[in-house]
Amino acid sequence: MSISTENNILVAENVSKSFDNNLIIDNINIHLKNREIVSLLGQSGVGKSTLFNILSGIYLPDSGKVYLKGEDITGKPGKISYMLQKDLLLPYKTVLDNTALPLIIKGMKKKDARAKASALFAQFGLEGCEKKYPAQLSGGMRQRAALLRTYLSSDGIALLDEPFSALDTLTKSAMHKWYLDIMAKIDLATVFITHDIDEAILLSDRIYIMTGKPGEITAEIVINRKKPRPDNFNLSEEFLEYKRTIVEKLL
């Protein structure tokens, strides 16, 4: 199957990858439109992070291509921002310097990078934290700082590998609300890895289900509900219907 790169800012076409002659992901096709939030949902070990490493150019696939805005970026790192599964802020740098880092790496002057990052602190719920160190922040704040850093290096697209999985239920729920709110305001398309079905339904425009060994995309589910979604969406019959469908497809 070939997917047109038109209207899609990111396309993976027929991507396969083995490690030590062991096929891990097989013939993956996914695409992402402007400002879309797409989740990749699948069990542990199915190959989600492996696919992200290919999308971000860190791994070269055995076969297949990755296109960013129509340009072939297969095996070319540094084009798409990627928040790793265990994203650690640098402990010896202030929160402001942590978030400004990608801009400095790209060649921006330290003063300008700090000003650009600092201007977004309030929006990311980090007001007053500029001079603090990561260890002084709560888990939710650290994640928001990591998301701000990812956004600042994003150029319109970000890959987030389980950004909320380490948070307790209440913090996670607050982060979901915040995330939907901020995504309505900023220009960013996101592919988002999770194994939390509720999280995927709540946050996504579309969900790709990845199953099997080797991992394949075995279903695509469109969540037909405008974002941000109402407060009690996760208790609605509509939500449960999506959940039933997804659980069936994950088995």
Q: Which does 77 bind (CB under 5 to 8 A by kind): Mg ion, ligand ATP, none?
A: none
Half-sphere exposure of 55 (CA within 13 A, CB side): 32
Non-local (6+) Cβ contacts of 232 within 8 A are: none
* C-alpha span between 103 and 148 (Å, rounded): 12
* Binder of Mg ion out of 49, 123, 234, 245 (CB under 5 A): 49
Number of residues that bind ligand ATP (CB under 6 A): 12
Of 62, 145, 151, nearest to 103 (Cα)?
151
Please report how close the Cβ of residue 49 comes to ligand ATP at its closest, in angstroms.
3
Residue in the shown chain whose Cβ atom is closest to Mg ion: 49
Which one of the spans 42-50, 108-116, 180-188, 237-245 is the region binding ligand ATP (CB under 6 A)? 42-50
**For ligand ATP, the closer CB: 20 or 237:** 20
Which one of the spans 48-56, 89-97, 111-119, 166-174 is the region binding Mg ion (CB under 5 A)? 48-56
CA 175 to chain centre: 14
**For Mg ion, the closer CB: 97 or 216:** 216
Q: Which does 230 bind (CB under 5 to 8 A by kind): ligand ATP, Mg ion, none?
A: none
Site string for ligand ATP, 9-38 (x = CB under 6 A): ----------x----x--------------
Of 19, 17, 21, 23, nearest to 52 (Cα)?
17
Of 71, 62, 76, 48, nearest to 159 (Cα)?
48
**Paired tokens of 67:** 């296109």
* C-alpha span between 225 and 231 (Å, rounded): 13
- Give the three-class secondary structure for 123: coil
Give the footprint of ligand ATP on residues 179-218 (CB under 6 A): 195
Q: Which does 46 bind (CB under 5 to 8 A by kind): Mg ion, ligand ATP, none?
A: ligand ATP
- Give the three-class secondary structure for 213: coil
Please report how close the Cβ of residue 125 comes to ligand ATP at its closest, in angstroms.
26
**For ligand ATP, the closer CB: 195 or 227:** 195
* C-alpha span between 137 and 123 (Å, rounded): 16
* Binder of ligand ATP out of 26, 32, 47, 61 (CB under 6 A): 47
Whether omega before 77 lies within 30 degrees of 0, making that bond cis, reads no
Binding residues for ligand ATP, rule: CB under 6 A, are: 19, 24, 42, 44-50, 85, 195
Binding residues for Mg ion, rule: CB under 5 A, are: 48-49
